[in-house]
Amino acid sequence: MIMKLSMITTLYYSAPYIEEFYQRSLKAALDITPDVEFVFVNDGSPDTALEVARRLSEQDERVIVVDLSRNFGHHRAIMTGLAYTTGDLVFLIDVDLEEAPESLTTFYTALVNDPQADVSYGIQAARQGPSLRRWPGDIYYRLVNALSDFDVPRNILMTRLMTQRYVHDLLKHQEKLYSIEGLWAMTGYKQIPITIEKSYKGTTTYSWGKKLSLAISSITSMSSKPLTAIATLGLLMAIPSGIVILVLIAQRLTGYTDIEGWTSMLASLWFLSGLIIFILGIIGIYLSIIFGEIKPRPYSIVRDVYRQSQTSPTPRPTLPPIGPQKTAPLLSTPEPSIHKGS
């Protein structure tokens, strides 16, 4: 029986890379198996990425294009696309060619050499780019691993080769706010790290705001330790505060007064006020996560799926014209006659 291999990637400002990505990925995949499929997930890309991917689907029956109704985010697009893969093995890689598609051979060899493993994933040999771009990543991984219940490998990449049973169990996670690296770790199975080279094209669609939001979501969705730390901090502050209160009461009873120390008191007031606001902010983040999780909103919305057998979009329903419309008169239903016997 021939093994089937699924290649999946997401599209967002990706039009310049799609053709080369497809050609190089196809060549690497065919070196392993003749049964290959491509799943391109258009995550609301504002450029011509959808048109380029659709042309590929018209030319190659192995190409499937999943078009989301808007931009839902990189991680949600990945999870949505994984549900459309049917291969025995699934190779996830970014389309921007910062990781070489030819690395598929290395990931496949690692799985073949270890029959107990279900995942081989990429680790960046050294973070690229300016130092201002590198050090936030180092801080992020330190915080995540210090506060979460699952260790996330430092400098982990999106590139990974997975068995279908791992993908099936990965998709069981129903969180709407999450860190995909955390989900990878929480799903379990034996996973093999593979060190690969990653180039840096000089630009990224991840703004500082997106990175900060991702870091906060990663920490709060993977661990409740910040809430525990708040309780511990409150206890540590209550003990010395109680001692100071007892000292002040004793001074009052003994008639000792001192007008000095107003500066330190004011500084303490500002510090404690800021600390309280910070604590309330952490609690507010967790409340916002709960608020987002309990609403029955769809995880993502797929507008169309393009295959060679269906390359035209789903037709929109015909809308009536604006203005008063003539309607057919309602037909009155005659009352049934009752036959009375003699």
Determine the pLDDT at residue 247. Answer: 72
> Is 302 part of any domain?
no
The verdict on pTM exceeding 0.75 is: no
> Is 319 part of any domain?
no
Judgement on whether residues 203 and 115 belong to the same structural domain of the protein: yes
Judgement on whether residues 181 and 236 belong to the same structural domain of the protein: no
DSSP 3-state assignment of 309?
coil
Q: What is the pLDDT of residues 176-216, one digit of tens each?
A: 666 788 788 888 899 999 998 887 665 555 555 666 666 66
Q: 183, 204, 222 — which closes off a domain?
A: 222
> Is 181 part of any domain?
yes
| Domain range for 265 | 225-294
Determine the pLDDT at residue 338. Answer: 43
Judgement on whether residues 81 and 204 belong to the same structural domain of the protein: yes
Judgement on whether residues 267 and 173 belong to the same structural domain of the protein: no
Alpha-carbon gap, residue 306 to 42, rounded angstroms: 11
Look at the alpha carbons of 212, 103, 79, 54 in this order and tell me if their dihedral is positive or negative.
positive
Judgement on whether residues 93 and 230 belong to the same structural domain of the protein: no
Total of domains in the chain: 2
Q: 161, 192, 222 — which closes off a domain?
A: 222
Judgement on whether residues 130 and 238 belong to the same structural domain of the protein: no
Name the nearest CA neighbour of 85 among 187, 192, 171: 171
**From first to last of its 342 residues, what are the pLDDT tens digits of the chain?**
789 999 999 999 999 999 999 999 999 999 999 999 999 999 999 999 999 999 999 999 999 999 999 998 888 899 999 999 999 999 999 999 999 999 999 999 999 999 999 999 998 876 655 555 556 656 666 666 666 666 667 788 889 999 999 999 999 887 766 678 878 888 889 999 999 888 766 555 555 566 666 666 666 666 666 766 776 776 676 677 667 667 766 766 776 655 565 545 655 666 676 677 777 777 777 776 676 666 677 778 899 999 886 655 556 566 666 655 555 554 444 444 444 443
Q: 202, 222, 242 — which closes off a domain?
A: 222
> Is 301 part of any domain?
no
Judgement on whether residues 17 and 127 belong to the same structural domain of the protein: yes
Judgement on whether residues 230 and 132 belong to the same structural domain of the protein: no
Judgement on whether residues 230 and 211 belong to the same structural domain of the protein: no
Judgement on whether residues 14 and 160 belong to the same structural domain of the protein: yes
Determine the pLDDT at residue 128. Answer: 58
Give me the CATH number covering residue 191.
3.90.550.10
Alpha-carbon gap, residue 97 to 19, rounded angstroms: 11
Judgement on whether residues 199 and 215 belong to the same structural domain of the protein: yes
Element (H, E) at 106: helix 104-113
Look at the alpha carbons of 100, 102, 104, 107 in this order and tell me if their dihedral is positive or negative.
negative
